[in-house]
Amino acid sequence: MIARAWRYGQHVLVFAGLMVTWHLLTTSMNDPMFPTPERVWQSFTRTWNDGSLMEAFRDSNGALLAGLALGVPGGIVLGMLAGYFRIIDRILAPYVNMMLVVPMVALVPILIIVFGLGTSSRVAVIVLFVLPDVLVNTRGGVRLADRQLLMMARSYGGSTLSVFRTLLLPTAFPSVMTGLRIGIGRGITGMIVVELTLVASGMGGFIMEALGRFRAGHMIVMILLIGLEAVVLTSLCVLAERRVLKRMGA
């Protein structure tokens, strides 16, 4: 009980220390571009009350959700196929390696040309950010499957589909969840990047607008919100993984 309280206490202490440092620094600088914590809090209450904060949040996350809905299953399916069928792996490998190495940001202008300045290009960018990580992790997870178990399932006449469902998917599950966690993080990055650079809307657009009006407090509020969202989403992933693994008895 005390150990538990101490674990939270550590966080509170570090956070309080950061706040005090921030406060002291910004007060001493007395520059409107480096707002004090109080000013940031004011920005928060103002944008919260006029609804602009949540509107930007909803707008961005609509695109994020759509992008995840396409990118995650796409990555899982391609990853499972690449993990199981050598030929698919060989064909996909160069593209996947390229996608992992080439900064996806470089593709954003091309996607805008193809999909226009609307929601669809934002969704496309998020898919491109999410898919490679989910794919690579899933593929690695499938590769972990025990050859002997596969042979056993085959010897009982298991079809490829049932082998996938009963053997490969459970084996790959922890890796899939890792891919999902990384993928969500990358998805949020993609979402903000496209809104900051080309399609000025949602949370990125909110930051750009605040920049244009020299509202540093607004910018910091949004950055903190993005950070908070990332932490919440990845923690949910970890929680979901633990629950499923516990049910599977691992």
Which residues here bind another protein, judged by CB under 8 A?
146, 148-149, 151-159, 162-163, 166-167, 170, 248-250
Q: How far is the CB of 182 from another protein (least distance, A)?
A: 23
Distances (CA, A) of 75 to 38, 82, 96, 179, 243: 43, 10, 11, 9, 22
Contact between residue 189 and residue 229 where contact means Cβ atoms under 8 Å apart? no
Q: How far is the CB of 81 from another protein (least distance, A)?
A: 20
Helices (H), 144-215: 147-155, 160-163, 169-197, 202-212
Which residue is it, tokens 């053997």?
167
User: For residues 34 and 74, what is the distance between their CA atoms, to the nearest angstrom?
Assistant: 43
Q: Which is nearer to another protein, 28 or 155 (CB)?
A: 155
List CB contacts of 199: < 8 A, sequence separation 6 or more.
112, 117, 118, 121, 122, 205
